[in-house]
Amino acid sequence: GQLRVEADGELPTGMAVQLSAFQALAGYPSSTIRLAGTLFGDTAVSVVDLAGTVEPLSFTAVRSMLPDLPVSGEVRGSVGFAGSLEDLEIDVDLETPAGPLAAVGTVNVADLE
pLDDT (tens digit per residue) in 2-53:
999 999 999 999 999 999 999 998 998 999 999 999 999 999 999 999 999 9
DSSP 8-class letter at 29? -
**Strand boundaries in 1-113, DSSP class E:** 2-10, 14-23, 31-41, 45-58, 74-84, 88-96, 99-107
Q: If you count them, how many residues does the chain have?
A: 113
At residue 106, the 3 state secondary structure works out as strand
> Would you list the domain boundaries of the chain?
2-107
User: Please, what is the end-to-end C-alpha distance for the chain in angstroms?
Assistant: 26
User: Which helix (H) or strand (E) covers residue 63, if one does?
Assistant: helix 59-65
pLDDT at 71: 85
pLDDT at 51: 99
Q: Given a cut of 90, is residue 113 above it in pLDDT?
A: no
Q: Given a cut of 80, is residue 64 above it in pLDDT?
A: yes
pLDDT at 81: 98
